[in-house]
């Protein structure tokens, strides 16, 4: 069952969902019509850093553990310029992260939540893919969300920190799952490592 914006607010209030800072306003107002809540999702914003994989002769061995450490060692972290942004060209790939820290705790006798991160349709129409092939945010996850970003269109796109970059869709999980944290649990960098 996908949560409506009203149910997302209830999940904040009862502690089943924690997003820090909490997206606001909860409803559009005359003074602030830019509400981050669609009917069944909440917008999340791009953080201040990108991780750019280096070109080279190395090769990912996805059968080995420790991809977060490998990515960290073979990528350059770049702070996005606050005035000019970061221009990503066609067919270029970077890892970004959400400005928001997301926590979806598992608690006994309380229905757990899981999430999906999706791009925004307006960006997709410009050829931008955000968080492709791996949208699932498992129950029990805690950390910033890493975004796999690539432009499939023919023109570049300028990214600014704080821009709405993706949307989080939340669903109720049937039954209480046992915790099984991934290597990305608690991540704070786009590579998946902790600070």
Catalytic residues: 148
Beta strands 41-45; 37-38: pairing state = antiparallel
Q: Which of helix, strand or coil describes residue 13?
A: helix
C-beta separation of 158 from 80 below 8 A: no
Write down the H helix ranges in 14-120: 67-73
Q: In whole angstroms, give the CA distance from residue 21 to residue 194.
A: 19
> φ, ψ for residue 132 (rounded to 5)?
-85, 155
CB atoms within 10 A of CB 118: 16
Distance, in Å, from the CA atom of 97 to the CA atom of 143, rounded to the nearest integer, reads 10
Q: Where are the alpha helices (DSSP H) in the chain?
A: 5-13, 67-73, 121-124
Angstrom CA distances, 185 to 17, 77, 88, 159, 174, stand at 16, 20, 28, 26, 22
């Amino acid at each position: 069952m996908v949560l409506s914006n009203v149910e997302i607010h209830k999940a904040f209030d009862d502690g089943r969902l924690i997003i820090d800072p909490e997206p606001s306003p909860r409803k559009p107002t005359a003074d602030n019509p830019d509400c981050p809540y669609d009917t069944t999702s909440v917008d999340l914003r791009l953080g201040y850093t990108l991780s750019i994989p280096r070109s080279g002769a190395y090769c990912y061995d996805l059968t080995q553990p420790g991809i977060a450490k490998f990515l960290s060692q073979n990528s350059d972290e770049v702070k996005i310029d606050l005035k000019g942004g970061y221009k990503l060209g066609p067919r270029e790939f970077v890892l970004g992260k959400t400005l928001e820290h997301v926590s979806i705790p598992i608690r006994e006798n309380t229905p757990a939540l899981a999430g999906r991160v999706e791009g925004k349709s307006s960006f997709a129409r410009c050829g931008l893919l955000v968080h492709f092939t791996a949208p699932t945010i498992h129950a029990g996850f805690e950390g910033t969300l890493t975004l796999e970003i690539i432009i499939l269109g023919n023109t570049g796109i300028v990214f600014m920190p704080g821009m709405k970059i993706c949307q989080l869709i939340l669903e109720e999980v049937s039954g209480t799952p046992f915790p099984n944290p991934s290597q990305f649990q608690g991540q704070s960098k786009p590579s998946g490592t902790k600070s």
